Structure 1
Amino acid sequence: MLTAAEDRQIKIIELLRLENFVALRMVAEQFDVSLATIRRDLDELEAAGLLRRTHGGAVGINQVALDISHDTRAVSYPAEKQAIAKVAAEMIEDGDTVLLDAGTTSFKVAQQLSPRQNLTLISNGLDIVGELTRSEIKNLYTIGGEYTATNRSFRGPLAEEFIRQFTVDKLILNVSSIELDRGVLCTSSPANASIQRSMIAISRRVIVVADHSKFTKSSLSVIADIEDVGAIITDSAARPIISETPENLRRKFIIAD
């Protein structure tokens, strides 16, 4: 016979097979037990290697962000990315120099910015550059280097050397995952992390664009601490995930409804 705790923990794992994230308060209410009891359950399951604790809940232990194809990412969460892009574009002021990191959400931001002729835009994303050239943007710089088909971007030492020649007002940064328990932003490879750190180094303000799925994954390479960026724009589905994070991190988030 299973104990009540064992039965509850089995059901928590079953929930994580259906959902990327389970919130502490939601689980406590569902099983009609205290928050302290659920915290103890989650701690025991983490110690057994069955999940990973986060602020406010837990994610499945196998939620690892690998190099997902561009075509797959392009059709994921389109409405959420559009809402995020709209908010990001509203943060860009006339006369700004903006660096757009390659990625499907940054591409949505580029579409929002393409009618505005009073900006200077820079990007290492092939699709972003294509979108902006079709819009006949007057002030556009493209970053060359080693091409990678995964996110249709240019990276490597040549790209990083080119980036270091600029100073930009705003950086629109994509990430593979946001790990709230560690307070870090991550990506899938050291090569991606390296060029993104170069981008951060030349930017006066860093704006991360990330839908809620990025909070339920882990990734290989750390880009930066959350504390080091200006803002993280995400969608409303991330509310329960970030609701119990420390204030110094929570104040970084902007919800695009």
Structure 2
Amino acid sequence: MKNITERHQLILQKLKEQGRVGIQELSDLMEVSGVTIRKDLKLLEDKNLLFRTRGGGSITNPYAVDRPINEKEFINSEDKQKIAKSAATLIKQSDSIMIGSGTTVFELARCLHPTKLLTVITPALKVGLELSNRSNVEVLQLGGLIRPNSSSVAGSHAMRVLDEISCEILFLGVDGIELDFGFSITNIAEATLNQKMIETAQTLVIMADSTKFGRRGLGKICGFDQVQYIVTDNKVSDQTVKMIEDRGVKVIIA
């Protein structure tokens, strides 16, 4: 049986090699209890040497940060544009869609040029402004308290409108996609609104670049059983794609 120093060295070595470690894996490897491993991970986290996750530890922060939208729009912008163009092909003959908040779904609004009338429902001010004078687009802007970080509304006013409408496809951006936790964002108020939007739509399309996989936001919006499509970039591993598609979700690589 290894002493505490040897255990900590081995945990950090495994993290360097793999990026993530699991409690059960470490427990079996070092022949100690899961309780001991949890204490080791806590001590190492206190020293800023790792991040604890559900069932283990990670060398990178698995929790998404609520950055302002004007900062997010410059992150992976090329991938987001490709994702938007691929997502737009799912609209086909739809006459009503909903677009959530975030920089990836905003790129979808930018590339929308329908040949027949399309109603777009959105809580995002930037989406509404982008589409307000676009040919063949009718915008239903949800109202409520505007969050500065996202330039999107949340709250009871928007929820009441959603009680009385339905749409064919909902396009949502997320801050985290985790196989155990599902899909999440960093703000609770917006998470509640997103849950309501999901109830309103017949088809749910998640638009997220590869940096969102393996991360977790504060508020869960749905599980994999509620999602029909994920549109992402080509940096997502084949193994991750297979595990997601095994759950009945179609993954589209932009």
TM-score by length of 2: 0.79
Question: 1:114, 1:132 within 8 Å by CA — same for their partners in 2?
Answer: no
| CA-based RMSD | 3.4
Q: CA deviation at 1:105?
A: 0.8
The structure-2 alpha-carbon separation of the partners of 1:151 and 1:114, relative to structure 1 and needing over 3 Å to count, comes to farther
In structure 2, how many angstroms separate the alpha carbons of the residues matched to 1:131 and 1:116? 17
Q: Structure 1: 5+ residue runs without aligned partners?
A: 25-35
Match of 1:218 among 192, 216, 219: 216
The residue that corresponds to 2:84 in the other structure is 85
In structure 2, how many angstroms separate the alpha carbons of the residues matched to 1:215 and 1:46? 25
The residue that corresponds to 2:249 in the other structure is 252
Secondary structure of 1:99's partner?
Answer: strand
In structure 2, how many angstroms separate the alpha carbons of the residues matched to 1:252 and 1:244? 10
The residue that corresponds to 2:205 in the other structure is 207
Rg larger in structure: 2
Q: CA deviation at 1:12?
A: 3.9
Match for 2:232: what amino acid? T
Question: 1:70, 1:150 within 8 Å by CA — same for their partners in 2?
Answer: yes
The residue that corresponds to 1:235 in the other structure is 233
Q: CA deviation at 1:142?
A: 0.9
Greater RCO (CA < 8 Å, at least 6 residues apart)? 1
In structure 1, how many angstroms separate the alpha carbons of the residues matched to 2:162 and 2:37? 41
Secondary structure of 2:205's partner?
Answer: strand
Q: CA deviation at 1:201?
A: 0.7
In structure 2, how many angstroms separate the alpha carbons of the residues matched to 1:240 and 1:23? 20
Q: CA deviation at 1:22?
A: 5.9
TM-score by length of 1: 0.78
Q: CA deviation at 1:238?
A: 1.4
Number of aligned pairs?
Answer: 239
In structure 1, how many angstroms separate the alpha carbons of the residues matched to 2:224 and 2:177? 8
- CA offsets per residue over residues 124-173 of structure 1, 9 Å max, x none? 11111111124244422111111111111111100111122211000001
Match for 1:124: what amino acid? P
- CA offsets per residue over residues 98-146 of structure 1, 9 Å max, x none? 0001111111111221354432111111111111124244422111111
How is 1:50-199 mapped onto 2 (pairs within 5 angstroms)? Answer: 50-51=50-51, 59-60=58-59, 62-182=61-181, 184-199=182-197
Match for 2:101: what amino acid? A
Secondary structure of 2:159's partner?
Answer: helix
Identical aligned residues as a percent:
24
